Every structure is written in C-alpha cells, then in structure tokens.
Amino acid sequence: MTPELTMLAWTLVLAFVQILLFDVARTGQYGLKWNVGARDAQMPALSPVAERLKRAQDNLFETLPLFIAAILIAHVADRNGPLTAYGAQIYLACRVLYVPLYAFGVPVLRSLVWLASTAGLGMVVWALLGV
C-alpha cells in the first residue's frame, strides 16, 4: 500500500474515533437511557466540550470527501510522489492535532492547524494538476 493510501486509512480511523468521541460525550451528558431510547424528548443543550467535539467532527467531514477523492485520484492516475505523500501526512497529522485543540477550546492555534491541514490537502491536489 502506498503512503498516501495508508494516510487515507488512518484518516478513516480518525473519523471513526471522532464519531465515538462525540457520542461518548453526548451519552455521558444525556445518559444511556436516552441513547438506547427513541430520542424523542427535547434535551438540554450539549456541554461546551460535546458541542466542540461535534463541530470538530463536522469540520473533518467537510474536507474528508475531498481528501478521499484526491488520494484515490492520485493512486489511480499514478501521480503519487513526495508531494502527495507529504501532503497526506500533513493533512492527517494536523487533523489529529485539531481534535484536542478544538475540544479544549484553544483559539488561534486551532485555526493555524486547520490551515496547515488544508495546505496538506492542497499539496495533494497540486500534484494531481501536475503544476
């Protein structure tokens, strides 16, 4: 498996972990009875940490389809190289860092890490375009 596909696989693991983190935070607040029930009752607002975990998850899910497509196109088109490998690694590393930064409410640095992850994705796309 190429380094890019390995980074993609680990990014999918990260996506699953983020789903679990939010679900654990939400169930911790609302309780197991709510979790296994019909969830029809109006519930109080989520805690700030649970809300941040949800937003971090949503944020990943905004760029994840683009990352998946870029990595798969690079693989199929045989455009893998240092730019795609490093770009994929940067994307994943920054996405991993982004979760605790967002969960703990760290401003500015969180946004810089997001920018770096976007730059990693941009590196992969740049390589696809052959520019």
Two structure tokens written together for 76: 């199929």
Q: Which residue has the tokens 């944020």?
A: 59
47 residue type, one letter: S
Write down the mean pLDDT value for the chain. 96
The whole-number pLDDT of residue 34 equals 86
Residues 6 or more apart whose CB falls under 8 angstroms from that of 80 comprise 2, 3, 4, 74, 127
Query: Tens digit of pLDDT for each residue in 102-120?
Result: 999 999 999 999 999 999 9
Contact present, 98 and 50 (Cβ < 8 Å) = no
Domain regions of the chain by residue span:
3-129
Confirm or reject CATH 1.10.645.10 for domain 3-129, answering yes or no.
Answer: no
Query: Tens digit of pLDDT for each residue in 36-59?
Result: 889 888 888 999 999 999 999 999
Judged by DSSP in three states, 84 sits in helix
